[in-house]
Amino acid sequence: MVNIAFIGLGHMGGPMAANLVRAGHQVLGYDLDAASLAEAAAAGVTPAASAPQAAAGADVVVTMLPMGRHVLALYRDEGLLAAAAPGTLFVDCSTIDVADARLAHRAATDAGHRALDAPVSGGVVGAEAATLTFMAGGGAAEFAEAEPLLAAMGKKVVHCGDAGAGQAAKICNNMILGISMIAVSEAFVLGESLGLSHQALYDVAAAASGQCWALTTNCPVPGPVPTSPANRDYRPGFAAPLMAKDLGLAANAARAGGVDARLGLQAARLYEEFGAAGGADRDFSAIVAAIRERSGA
């Protein structure tokens, strides 16, 4: 049994913390939102009065927060690092900027602790079912210590390299996904204009070189893949603003590194526009509707 502090018990963190409780660990949790804290408490998480109070007796501190600025503020300004016993392992599972992840590592180690970035893929469904994929960045010893805990919340845990490598893997993967969903959607709209049925294009592309996850698992048109969000009026799934956020992180990293990622930058803009124009609570695959509309179809 490990003493765990879990900070950020929202859509993802709540069920992840519950899975750590189910695996037999002692989990002290905290969230600024009282309703999220109460929900986690109902699932067996012991509520703490503050984040530093949760961290004070912990072996491992897990954070699952919206953005890098929340993680850095909590670590440095809100006393989380200062409250923990020396040598505590800080595992940040939030999706944040690679540069912020490296700052968080540095802040933790400067304070005498150890750190790992371990963002996830798999969404709320994966968080609930403990089938997330974890991408970790940090030292081998830190990874070895965290791995059994991450395995209690997921089905696959990959050590990607040093500090920030988990975040790097996450944004690179999601850049592939964001671009490929737009490619698949443009192809379906082009097919429509050429009189090609969705099923015919699907049957060909799924068995040919156009095959990809955006087509065969999250197909943006209803019909060919009955479980895809398109068949339930694009209820997420993976909401468009989350894709916009991840592509924004990828775009920042590409700009900072001087990488010619024109499609990634353009995809980031398209999801942002789509989110602002009514797509905020829809699956990212609903971008097909925006493409159709802009095509005058």
Query: Taking a C-beta distance cutoff of 8 angstroms, is the pair 89, 146 a contact?
Result: yes
Q: Where are the beta strands (DSSP E) in 122-186?
A: 132-138, 154-161
Among 4, 10, 27, 166, binds ligand NAD (CB under 6 A): 10
Is residue 104 within the footprint of ligand NAD (CB under 6 A)? no
Q: Binding string to ligand NAD for residues 73 to 102, with x set by CB under 6 A, is what?
A: -x-------------------xx-------
Token output for 257: 């590194």
Mask for 157-196, x = binds ligand NAD (CB under 6 A) = ----------------------------------------
- Is the bond into 237 cis (omega within 30 degrees of 0)? yes
Residues whose CB is less than 8 angstroms from the CB of residue 89 and which lie 6 or more positions away in sequence, other chains included = 59, 60, 61, 113, 114, 115, 116, 142, 145, 146
Binding to ligand NAD by residue 12, rule CB under 6 A?
A: yes
Residue 119 or 220 having the CB closest to ligand NAD: 119
Q: Judged by CB under 6 A, does residue 244 bind ligand NAD?
A: no
291, 186 in Cβ contact below 8 A?
yes
Dihedral through CA 191, CA 216, CA 210, CA 272, nearest 10? 70
Which of 3, 23, 32, 53 binds ligand NAD (CB under 6 A)? It is 32
CB 39 within 8 A of CB 15: no
Asked whether position 33 contacts ligand NAD by CB under 6 A, the answer is yes
Q: 25 or 245: whose CB is closer to ligand NAD?
A: 245
Q: 141 is written with which tokens?
A: 């010893």
* Shortest CB 74 distance to ligand NAD, Å: 5
- The answer to the question of residue 150 lying near ligand NAD (CB under 6 A) is no
Active site residue 155: no
Give the residue with the Cβ less far from ligand NAD, 120 or 169. Answer: 120
Alpha-carbon torsion, ordered 98, 156, 284, 182, to 10 deg = 80
Catalytic residue among 155, 156, 170, 245: 170
Given 28, 81, 89, 120, the residue binding ligand NAD (CB under 6 A): 120
Q: Cβ contacts of residue 95 below 8 Å, gap of 6+? A: 119, 120, 167, 170, 171, 245, 246, 249
Judge whether 157 and 150 are in contact, CB under 8 Å: yes
**CB of 124 vs ligand NAD, minimal distance in Å:** 5
- 15 touches ligand NAD (CB under 6 A): no
Which residues contact ligand NAD by CB under 6 A? 7-13, 30-33, 36, 51, 64-66, 70, 74, 94-95, 120, 123-124, 238, 242, 245
